[in-house]
């Protein structure tokens, strides 16, 4: 067992997660997850070579780990809703925008999809000082942006000092690297070398430092114009001819509510054994589909190459797998989380109006009320009726695949309507003769529950929650709305009562969720703070969570970190600002014409997109 934990500790300190912080997940899109590959599709994995660098024609190229492919063709995937909100990854708060940003802008380091090690991306090397407080990053020589300008240390320093640490755009990463009250000090050593100094040893920093880098010559003007302008920079109406990228693809076309088309970056810094510049495919297309059923039909008609499969559709796909020339990969439990969240906001906005009605404030901030809803929620029914048994009830803030999962809480509890009614009675709630629930002041208990329209799994969950709570006498107005409108409600206006939504996350590093649990975090949905708020109104357990987040990041010993993060999960479990529902298996169907496909537990299905090629 000791050796097992030693291995885990190595993974923790070496792994760089694909996303440095949680993002709102609209669901139904192809997700990159660290999961278990249950279909034993590992025969090709052994052929995936170790990463290496080759110096050729003045450039430190990444050498392809796959077999030599051929140029041409396209890969078509899909997303639910109305598409991206921005093409600026430093502003992005939603999964689709971030997914596109990851294709356009590479990070300094990434995660080895085979073993979880930190491996070079834009950077060539990382040197960590013995006291674990100085990180020296050496960049690849000769690598260029898509417009031909060389990528240098100036771009790295600019990204960190003028965007991230300056608080422009999405501040989640900046919030995550606040170490004992101080941000990292970032400076240029020479053209290809950058130094990061931190106040004290900080467990998550090795993965945080590997973030995406912006082209200074493109972003500098936007930065100089301030936060508001930066938030709109590279928006959905941008002139794509002026974009410079470091990733394998660049946006060529965006038609709202229809598709995003990305074309290959001719200056990408990956090369195969025959000295061909990657990527191989010409186009990477993301179709914007209205809902999951439409997505399924598009796959069956041959319009899509990749699709996530719901449990209820598995038998349908299995029956067509050979005939329709695709393969199903079972990637195990989803590493994201799906949950109900209460709006606990008791503050007033800049106009002096409450974000949430005072009577609802009292309900949602009553622990008996929240616990009653938890016990009224029938997770097992959701697992079997919605996920067709291909899921498992979830009760914790850490996903079931997390190495920091609090196992004592993982099994949770069964639905118990009698106990739920008893809790409501303790807080003065009562039923009238018609079975309608009132609070102790006589108000009928009625509120709105939102989710994103078109995500049929969540819509089905919402219907079940509505029915579960009807048995308590509550009237729930279930309102599926367009995803971007939902994000606006959650992140901008706070004009909502309850929401059913999901977050992407990391099974390796709880600190990646700081933007969710830190009281001033950008995704602290259940009690969001805004710049113009006149009051803070921190809850006692929120203060405790703030302290735990800091403690967990500063502790380097895995066993001690585990105790700390067990405690944070216990607080969420006890206080119930969110109620977790279930984790579904991630099953993905991929067309057989896509070659060099190496599905892995860490990387998922399309982790090596630049190496994939088409063979009809």
Q: How many angstroms separate the CA atoms of 525 and 439, rounded?
A: 25
The DSSP annotation for 304-352 comes to: -SEEEE-GGGHHHHHTTTTTTTEEEEEEEE-SSEEEEEE-----B-TTS
Nearest CA-CA partner of 302 in 27, 596, 589: 589
The gap from C-alpha 161 to its chain's centroid, in whole angstroms, comes to: 24
What is the CATH number assigned to the segment(s) 337-585? Answer: 3.10.105.10
| Residue 164 · residue 214 · CB < 8 Å | no
pTM (whole model) above 0.85: no
What is the CB neighbour count within 10 angstroms for residue 304?
23
Q: What H or E segment, with its residue span, contains residue 563? A: helix 558-575
pLDDT number for residue 62: 97
DSSP string, 166-193: TT-S--HHHHHT-BTTBPPEEEEEETTE
CB 595 within 8 A of CB 612: yes
Q: What is the DSSP letter of 310?
A: -
Q: 190 forms bridges with which residues in the sheet?
A: 193
Cα–Cα–Cα angle for 593, 29, 331, rounded to 5 degrees: 70
How far, in whole angstroms, is CA 369 from its chain's centroid? 29
Phi, psi of 543 (to 5 degrees): -60, -40
pLDDT tens digits along 123-177:
999 999 999 999 999 999 999 999 999 999 999 999 999 999 999 998 888 988 9
pLDDT at 574: 97
- Hey, what are 25's tokens? 């997940």
In the chain, CATH 3.10.105.10 covers 337-585
Strand partners, 499: 341, 450
* pLDDT for res 515: 86
Architecture of domain 2-305+593-614: 3-Layer(aba) Sandwich (3.40)
Which residues in the chain land under pLDDT 70? Answer: 1-46, 116, 534, 601-602
Residue with tokens 């009726």: 385
Structural contact between residues 152 and 275, judged by C-beta atoms closer than 8 angstroms: no
pLDDT tens digits for range 233-279: 999 999 988 899 999 999 999 999 999 999 999 999 999 999 999 99
Instruction: Locate CATH 3.40.190.10 in the chain.
Output: 2-305+593-614
DSSP-derived pairing of the beta strands 59-63 and 270-271: parallel
Using the CB atoms, write b or e for 147-172: b if 16+ within 10 Å: eeeebbbebbbbbbbbbbbeebbbbb
């Amino acid at each position: 067992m000791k050796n097992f934990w030693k291995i885990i500790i190595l993974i923790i300190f070496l792994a760089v997660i694909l996303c440095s912080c949680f993002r709102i997940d609209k669901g139904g899109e192809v997700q990159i997850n660290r999961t278990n590959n249950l279909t034993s599709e590992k025969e090709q994995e052994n052929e995936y070579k170790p990463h290496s660098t080759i110096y050729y024609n003045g450039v430190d190229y990444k050498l392809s780990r796959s077999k030599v492919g051929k140029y041409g063709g396209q890969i078509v995937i899909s997303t639910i809703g109305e598409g991206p909100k921005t093409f600026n990854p430093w502003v992005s708060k939603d999964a689709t925008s971030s997914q596109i940003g990851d294709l356009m802008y590479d990070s300094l380091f990434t995660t080895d999809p085979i073993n979880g090690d930190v491996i070079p991306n834009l950077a060539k090397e990382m040197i960590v000082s013995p006291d674990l407080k100085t990180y020296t990053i050496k960049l690849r020589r000769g690598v260029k942006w898509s417009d031909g300008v060389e990528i240098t240390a100036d771009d790295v320093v600019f990204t960190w000092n003028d965007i991230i640490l300056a608080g422009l755009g999405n501040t989640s990463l900046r919030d995550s690297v606040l170490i004992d009250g101080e941000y990292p000090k970032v400076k240029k050593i020479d053209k290809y070398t950058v130094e990061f100094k931190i106040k004290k040893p900080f467990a998550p920093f090795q993965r945080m430092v590997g973030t995406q880098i912006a082209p200074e010559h493109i972003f500098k003007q936007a930065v100089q114009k301030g936060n508001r302008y930066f938030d709109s920079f590279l928006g959905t109406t941008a002139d794509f001819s002026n974009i410079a990228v470091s990733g394998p693809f660049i946006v060529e076309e965006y038609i709202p509510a229809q598709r995003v088309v990305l074309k290959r970056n001719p200056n990408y810094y990956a090369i195969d054994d025959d000295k061909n510049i990657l990527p191989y495919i010409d186009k990477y297309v993301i179709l914007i589909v209205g809902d999951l059923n439409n997505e399924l039909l598009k796959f069956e008609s041959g319009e899509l190459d990749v699709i996530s499969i719901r449990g209820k559709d598995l038998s349908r796909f299995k029956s067509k797998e050979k005939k329709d020339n695709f393969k199903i990969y079972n990637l195990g439990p989803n590493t994201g989380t799906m949950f109900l969240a209460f709006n606990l906001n008791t503050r007033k906005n800049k106009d002096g109006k409450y974000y949430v009605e005072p009577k609802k404030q009292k309900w949602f901030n009553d622990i008996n009320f929240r616990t009653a809803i938890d016990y009224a929620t029938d997770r097992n029914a959701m697992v079997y009726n919605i996920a067709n048994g291909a899921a498992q009830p979830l009760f914790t803030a850490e996903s079931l695949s997390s190495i920091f999962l609090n196992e004592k809480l993982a099994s949770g509890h069964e639905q118990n309507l009698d106990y739920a009614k008893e809790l409501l009675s303790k807080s003065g709630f009562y039923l009238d003769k018609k079975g309608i629930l009132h609070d102790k002041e006589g108000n009928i208990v009625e509120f709105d529950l939102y989710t994103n329209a078109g995500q049929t799994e969540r819509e089905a969950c919402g219907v079940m929650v509505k029915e579960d709570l009807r048995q308590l006498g509550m009237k729930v107005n279930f309102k599926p709305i367009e995803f971007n409108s939902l994000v606006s409600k959650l992140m901008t206006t706070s004009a909502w009562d309850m929401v059913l939504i999901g977050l992407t996350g990391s099974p390796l590093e709880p600190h990646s969720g700081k933007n969710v649990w830190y009281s001033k975090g950008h995704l602290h949905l259940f009690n969001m703070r805004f710049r113009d708020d006149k009051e803070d109104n921190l809850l006692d357990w929120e203060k405790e969570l703030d302290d735990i987040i800091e403690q967990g990041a500063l502790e380097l010993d895995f066993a001690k970190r585990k105790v700390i993060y067990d405690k944070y999960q216990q607080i969420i479990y006890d206080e119930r600002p969110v109620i977790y529902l279930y984790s579904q298996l991630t099953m993905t169907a991929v067309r057989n014409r896509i070659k060099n496909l190496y599905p892995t537990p860490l990387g998922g299905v399309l982790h090596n997109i630049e190496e994939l090629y088409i063979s009809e």
